[in-house]
Chain A
């Protein structure tokens, strides 16, 4: 058991697990409520928070936390309350967030040595303090989804009916966007801002092929997330490749394989009744 003796490897594995939990749960909402684009916007805008962290001399992950929640809320309000088309508004805020990040880093004297890590992931350099932040965010996500499960289901399935039934759908939607923001922050260290969207979509999309229950979809998707992060990490260690990108490629490859598997499975199901008849 060579690699597991190193602390950085243990941290990396833990980070992968914590990330799998967050993206497993929230990714399901992102996929079923079709919020992939706004999630992309939120994750890229978080770069502004990383920049702010450098500028203020605090931990960039903490900077990202506040900035990402703020940008998720403003995206939610702008897309709901103004007459701008939703994707236009997201596109604009997406770019503004990234641009702010670049300006903040420009204004910060000296180098930003681990900047690349925030963009593309640096799972091998996760300090304990970040693991604790990730754990707290995971707990916040689980608790919120536990308390608001039936409301989130109503919101995702048929928002108008939910509103008509007396559910405060708009505040709930904003809360869901905040949870996406928290998930993005959990994932930044693992795969980086640019690749976050993959872990928010692939495990959930894959889980969807195997179940028709939202709860089971969350469990499966956490499980797939664990397989992806652990498998990707191991492979990147063996082949000496960038870990974030390897995790994503492992996820993508397994997802494509599952698509093929699901297709074969469906064809079999279709053939069975015709043989009987």
Chain B
């Protein structure tokens, strides 16, 4: 069944100023996984992605990405950050932003080549943003920008795609479209989708993990009530928010 192993975390701990953010995380992700990671804000979701990207060094434990260290494997891992990190007035076109996803592959001191341009064209087509390729990035709406950032992640043709709260700035009608895009992409790469929006994620992902410093994960969509409670600490409030947690169990 499961294909090649893409990521393995063994007893990973991360501390910020001596305060634990991630505690003893064990996780393995395979080539054909579409994993949703849910959990409250401040539960360490972004940190976990940053560990896999090699942007945060664990204080303890081992991280293996495609058989090597995260830093050595950056060219095979793409990342869609929680937007708004850039200056909206930045003088750069949609096309150049998409092309930036190839900056690692193209190599230092070199220009972008034909295959880089082709990859950017394909990626912008996939997210249906090719028509706007000459626009300045700040002129686009939040949802459109998010699509461009997904294109930027796709041009690298990664083996693993990490998405951090990708629907934060996406409006409701585009949401379905967005998840359908991921559905198509998962044929080609492993996907990890981090969100605090349980209801959206539960219909589309194949596997769910809960993270609140500690990770609960059984390679399935099964999360027990106790684990949800341990993750969110306040299960009643959770259900009151209209998140029927049986959705997590009843699928297909």
Total interface residues on B, CB under 8 Å, equals 33
**23 cross-chain CB contacts under 8 A:** A32-B90, A32-B91, A150-B99, A150-B111, A151-B108, A154-B100, A154-B103, A157-B97, A160-B85, A161-B79, A161-B81, A161-B85, A161-B100, A161-B152, A162-B103, A165-B74, A165-B156, A166-B74, A166-B103, A166-B104, A212-B136, A214-B91, A214-B96
CA distance A166 to B106 in the complex (A): 10
Which one of A153, A156, A157, A165 has the greatest number of beta carbons of chain B within 10 Å?
A: A165
Given the known inter-chain contacts A32-B87, A151-B108, A164-B74, please indicate yes or no for A214 contacting B81, CB distance below 8 A: no
CA distance A165 to B96 in the complex (A): 15
Is the CB–CB distance between B79 and A158 below 8 Å?
no
| Contact flags B108-125 to A (C-beta < 8 A → 1, else 0) | 110110000000000000
Q: Does A128 contact B (CB under 8 A)?
A: no
Chain B residue numbers with a CB within 8 Å of A151 are 103, 108
Q: Does A211 contact B (CB under 8 A)?
A: yes
Interface size class of A (residues with CB under 8 A): 20 to 34
The residue in chain A whose Cβ has the minimal distance to the Cβ of B99 is A150
Given the known inter-chain contacts A161-B81, A161-B152, please indicate yes or no for A150 contacting B90, CB distance below 8 A: no
Is the CB–CB distance between B100 and A157 below 8 Å?
yes
Is the CB–CB distance between B104 and A153 below 8 Å?
no
Q: Report the minimum CB–CB distance from B73 to chain A (whole Å).
A: 9
| One of B77, B85, B86, B109 near A147 (C-beta < 8 A) | B109
| One of B86, B89, B112, B156 near A150 (C-beta < 8 A) | B112
Q: Does B101 contact A (CB under 8 A)?
A: yes
| Contact flags B69-103 to A (C-beta < 8 A → 1, else 0) | 00000110111010001110111110011011101
Q: Does A129 contact B (CB under 8 A)?
A: no
